Structures are given as structure tokens and as C-alpha cells.
Amino acid sequence: MKDNELAELLKYSSPKELYIVAWNNLLKVLFCPFKVKVAYSVGSLRKGNLVWVEEVKVTKHLVTVYIIQKKAYHYYHFDIVI
């Protein structure tokens, strides 16, 4: 994806909210900070810990990234706690 295409896409998103589809197929919005459980040990975070997502970002390849303790982690290392 080109930089200008990514910029066009991101101007409609917010780093402070994340839309999810809940278990009952309802669309829900989570506002930062929200709690997640570490599914796999990564960086200084250990499996099973509960941490707060400060912001939600997207990489150039459209992979969701959580900002936790001012560090970026891919979303698939975590389970959202509702």
C-alpha cells in the first residue's frame, strides 16, 4: 500500500478506539485504555499478565498494533478482556 493510500484510509480512524465483533455478532466499540491478556510472552510482557492498551495503530501492511507501556506489539499476542 502506498503512503498516500494509507493516509487516506487512516484519516477516518482514531487511535483511541477499536471496533470488534462480539461473540453474539454485535459490533462493539472499545475505547482506550482497554484491558487485554497476554496470550504469548513478548518483549517484557509475560503470558497471562493483564495490561492496558493505550492506543491502537496500524502498520503500513495494515496489521493492527497495540501501544502498551509506550511500546508497539502486534494484536495477535493478546486476548481482549471485556
How much is the pLDDT for 73? 96
Q: Are 28 and 20 in contact (CB under 8 A)?
A: yes
pTM, two decimal places: 0.86
pLDDT in tens, 17-34: 999 998 899 999 999 999
Q: Which residue range is the domain that position 22 belongs to?
A: 3-80
How many folded domains does the chain comprise? Answer: 1
* Residues whose CB is less than 8 angstroms from the CB of residue 4 and which lie 6 or more positions away in sequence, other chains included: none
pLDDT in tens, 33-81: 999 999 999 999 999 999 999 999 988 888 999 999 999 999 999 999 9
